[in-house]
Copies of this chain bind each other. A is one copy, B any other.
């Protein structure tokens, strides 16, 4: 059997989308104001935009949020990013309007090709369409689109796309019923 050799790791010409200076600056600013107990919502939105995020109106960012790359983040109107939510965006993450990312949820954009000895990096953009709810401590895997108003329940792991108005649960998450909004 072949073996993994991480000394030969290749990241497939991945580029983080910002200069080292910008990334280092964001790392420090994020540690102080976003990924901390600092409460000021408006100032967080200002900082995210300053570093390139496209953010609509009425967006709420709770304390201890971990956003890797604001320059790769788009958020619509009236969406919420919950306490300890983690947007690990090596590549672009697009969040629609009226979405709720609950506390402790994780949006994961980086994977590895575990079939290759060099463990190549594989990235995949995440799209949350309007009205999506990612439950507390739930995880969305790389490359997944969650269609409009889909719902990923508490602690569940979305490894496949979520259909519009579908409610998903488990690890891996499976559709358990339809979401009917009245």
Contacts and interface: CB of A to CB of B under 8 A. Distances in A.
A62 B98 CA distance: 33
A112 B103 CA distance: 13
Interface in A18-42: 24, 27-28, 30-31, 35-37, 39
A16 to B, nearest CB: 14
- What does DSSP make chain A's interface, helix, strand, loop or mixed? loop
Given A139-B154, A171-B170, A78 B6 contact: yes
A82 B50 CA distance: 27
A115 B6 contact: no
Nearest to A31: B37
A119 B100 contact: yes
Contacts of A98: 3-7, 119
A123 interface: no
B106 A106 contact: no
Given A106-B137, A114-B167, 6 more contacts: A6-B79, A7-B58, A114-B179, A155-B157, A156-B171, A170-B171
Interface of A: 1-7, 9, 24, 27-28, 30-31, 35-37, 39, 58, 77-80, 83-84, 86, 88, 97-98, 100, 103-104, 106, 108, 112, 114-117, 119, 130-131, 133, 136-137, 139, 141, 148-149, 151, 153-157, 159, 164-165, 167, 169-172, 179-182
